[in-house]
Amino acid sequence: MFRRFIISEDGTTMVEMAIAMTLLLTLTLGFVDFGFALYQWNGATKAVQAGARLASISDPVAPQISTAGAITTPGAPVVANSFDYICNGANSTCSCSGANCVAGVWTAANFNRIFQGDATGAGTCPGLAAGQRPGMCHFFPFLLPANVVIRYTATGLGYQTRLGGPVPTISVSLQNVNYHFFFLGGLIGLDNMAMPSMLSTVTGEDLKSTSP
């Protein structure tokens, strides 16, 4: 009887199917998750591009930028690197370095216009009404204010005592953003996979003293 049990092939089809289905299911779910990861990467890329554009036409997060830079020689170019403001959403502060730096103060309303666009209401990323412009969070729903860094740098544009203030170069980047996986996160531990750095840089326009 034992010998018969050893040579018996009853149930082999079921065992083979179980092995094959496990591999096939894992592969299928992998395609779904990595496709979703690509969607997130594209969304994050678009978010920083939209954020940079909004930042270039909106009140700066640190309004003191409009008076930064030397004013001793009216009409002279604003010296490159005379100020460098970094506004970090992780701690809601704007730090500044440079010879002509004026201490920056974080302004939540100005940051929210970049992060949320024209949307108003409860929640980190309120829904948009008809005709409202989207903010960064609408392009990448997983984005949080703590992930956003906005930098205003003097790169020699504009001139001293210019009515609209100096013209900064504006960079918007993301920090500490991880991919979200539906299946593979728990299966093979991909929950902590960091997203590559995202950065978009534009030349500032007239930084408005009123909402654009």
pLDDT digits (tens, 9 = 90+) for 89-139: 999 999 998 877 878 899 999 999 999 999 988 888 999 999 999 999 999
State pLDDT tens for residues 68-78: 777 778 888 88
Are 70 and 160 contacting, i.e. CB atoms less than 8 angstroms apart?
yes
What percent of the chain has a predicted confidence (pLDDT) above 70? 86
Phi, psi angles (nearest 5°) of residue 103:
-50, 130
For the cut 50, the answer to whether the pLDDT of residue 11 exceeds it is: yes
pTM of the predicted structure, to 2 decimals: 0.81
For the cut 60, the answer to whether the pLDDT of residue 36 exceeds it is: yes
pLDDT at 210: 44
pLDDT at 2: 56
pLDDT at 176: 93
Q: Which of 104, 102, 138 is nearest to 121 (CA)?
A: 138
Question: Which stretch, 56-60, 85-89, 200-204, has highest mean pLDDT?
Answer: 85-89
CA torsion 186→136→80→73, rounded to 10°? Answer: -150
Residues 140-163 have a mean pLDDT of 89
User: What's 148-208 look like in SS3?
Assistant: EEEEEEECCCCECCCCCCCCEEEEEEECCCECCCCCHHHHHCCCCCECCCCEEEEECCCCC
Task: Using pLDDT thresholds of 50, 70 and 90, give the confidence band for residue 206.
Answer: low
The residue that leads in pLDDT, 34 or 89, is 89
Phi, psi angles (nearest 5°) of residue 7:
-90, -5
Task: Using pLDDT thresholds of 50, 70 and 90, give the confidence band for residue 209.
Answer: very low
